Structure 1
């Protein structure tokens, strides 16, 4: 697995990130009404909103898998995921598309591609993407790039299979929506929700 150098400048103040996440979370809890254009029409805010929706979905999967015996993710883990979403949603570099017409220029932003990668990974059952990055000169058409991402999987789901499914989903999405020359998609499973052993009921047990 490659050691990747961060390509983003330092993010905003952590308090600002936390405030944004809290505001968007409250908006989601309210059923996304009344419509808030500052959230629904802002790429960074929409990225956080999608991740919060995915976290809810993951929570539902945990309940179905007997959540009473599973440890809930701690605040630092949740803030880490949402902090990564906030930073990666920024526009970043421009990634050009080829064009046969002189003077025409078509492009997609790096932030949009990272969002695409995240959505593809999150589409795999029982998986939540943590961090994703693109290494290589994406501004040079045809240049080779490497995709790297981390993910959490639910207890009981095969880590190997999950990583392969994420890799396939990301590869398919990039083929459909970009012209990137991807030479490697590195998927690292960094967290697993592991079931705790139920506490023994000692009431009425023989002494």
Structure 2
């Protein structure tokens, strides 16, 4: 985030806070540092990471760190025998937007793994993890194999 963008955001937020403070009329002793604390929270949130906008079943919007959602998906993919997650991309979908998600991912597959059945296992695993951990269904899970690897443990058997 550039300094100019931070300053514009700070100015906008200061205006909102001033408007709130004018309507609320808090005790001056209680409001010491409130404005700076709010700005600090907003700045920290903006620096954390990109977030994905989602919507609960009841239509309440929320944001979740995109890295966190990708981590949930990667764990679900890696739980499928012979498959390892590589890239994970997600797009909010559904009506209202964000009430579901479309997932596009690339994987590596161990030599000898049947792709069609493994891809179905990946789709089920990802869909189950998203419902269980995020509360959002997967409308689509696209799986692309990028590479094949030799599973050292299976080769030793």
TM range (shorter): 0.5 to 0.7
Which residue of structure 1 lines up, in the alignment, with residue 8 of structure 2? Answer: none
Conservation of the 8 A alpha-carbon contact between 1:91 and 1:112: no
Q: Moved runs in structure 1, 4+ residues, more than 6 A? A: none
Gapped regions of structure 2 (runs ≥ 5): 1-47, 152-157
Structure 1 residues 99 and 146, CA gap change in structure 2 (3 angstroms): closer
Which residue of structure 2 lines up, in the alignment, with residue 164 of structure 1? Answer: 120
Structure 1 residues 181 and 192, CA gap change in structure 2 (3 angstroms): same
Are 2:105 and 1:149 equivalent residues in the alignment? yes
Match of 1:91 among 46, 49, 64: 49
Q: CA deviation at 1:95?
A: 4.1
Conservation of the 8 A alpha-carbon contact between 2:106 and 2:144: yes
User: Higher Cα Rg: structure 1 or 2?
Assistant: 2
Which residue of structure 2 lines up, in the alignment, with residue 120 of structure 1? Answer: 76
RMSD over aligned CA atoms reads: 3.0
Larger % of strand: which? Answer: 2
**Higher deviation after alignment, 143-152 or 158-167:** 143-152
Q: CA deviation at 1:135?
A: 1.5
Conservation of the 8 A alpha-carbon contact between 1:146 and 1:185: yes
Length, aligned pairs only? 102
Larger % of helix: which? Answer: 2
